[in-house]
Amino acid sequence: MNTIKKLNKLFLPIFIVLILVLSCTRNRIDVKPIPKCDGTEASYSKDIKPLIKAKCSTGLGAGTGCHDSWILTYDGIMNKVNNNTFKETTILNKTMPKVPNNFGIDPLTEDEINLIICWLDNGAKEN
C-alpha cells in the first residue's frame, strides 16, 4: 500500500503538468514568405509604370478599375509601398489586379511579380 501512495505522489503531479501542457493551444500566425529578387534589374519608368497601367488601370477613371487613382502616380504608389500595402496586394495576397474583373485584365504573371519584387528590393526608385 505504501508503494501505491508513493507512485500516486510521483505520477499525480506529472499527470497534471502533462494535461496542462497538452491542453494549451497556441495562436498560430501564418506568415507568407516574401520571394526574393532573382537579380533582374527593374525600372519604374520602363517596367513598373507600364505594368501597372496594363494590369491595374482601365483608363476609365478612378474607382472604375482594379484600384483607384493612386496607382497612376509614383507618389501614390510610394504611399502604398511605404505602408506595405503595395507588397501585400501585389505579392502576398495577389489581389492586384483584382481577378476576375469586367475589364479583361489578367492576373500578374510570376515574371511580372518578380519585376515588382526586384524594384521594391532595390529601393523602389523613380528611375
pLDDT tens per residue, range 9-57: 667 677 676 666 666 555 555 656 667 888 888 999 999 999 888 887 7
Calpha distance 103→78 (Å, rounded): 25
Question: Does residue 38 fall inside a structural domain?
Answer: no
Domain assignment present for residue 62? The answer is: yes
Assess if residue 5 is contained within a domain: no
The answer to the question of residue 99 being in a domain is yes
16 inside domain: no
Tally the domains of the chain: 1
Note down the domain range covering 80: 44-121
Residue 56 lies in a domain: yes
Flag whether 13 is in a domain.
no
Rounded CA separation 119/91 (Å): 12
Kindly state whether residue 60 falls inside one of the protein's structural domains. Answer: yes
What tens digit of pLDDT does each residue of 57-110 get?
766 655 555 556 777 789 989 998 999 888 888 888 888 777 777 777 788 899
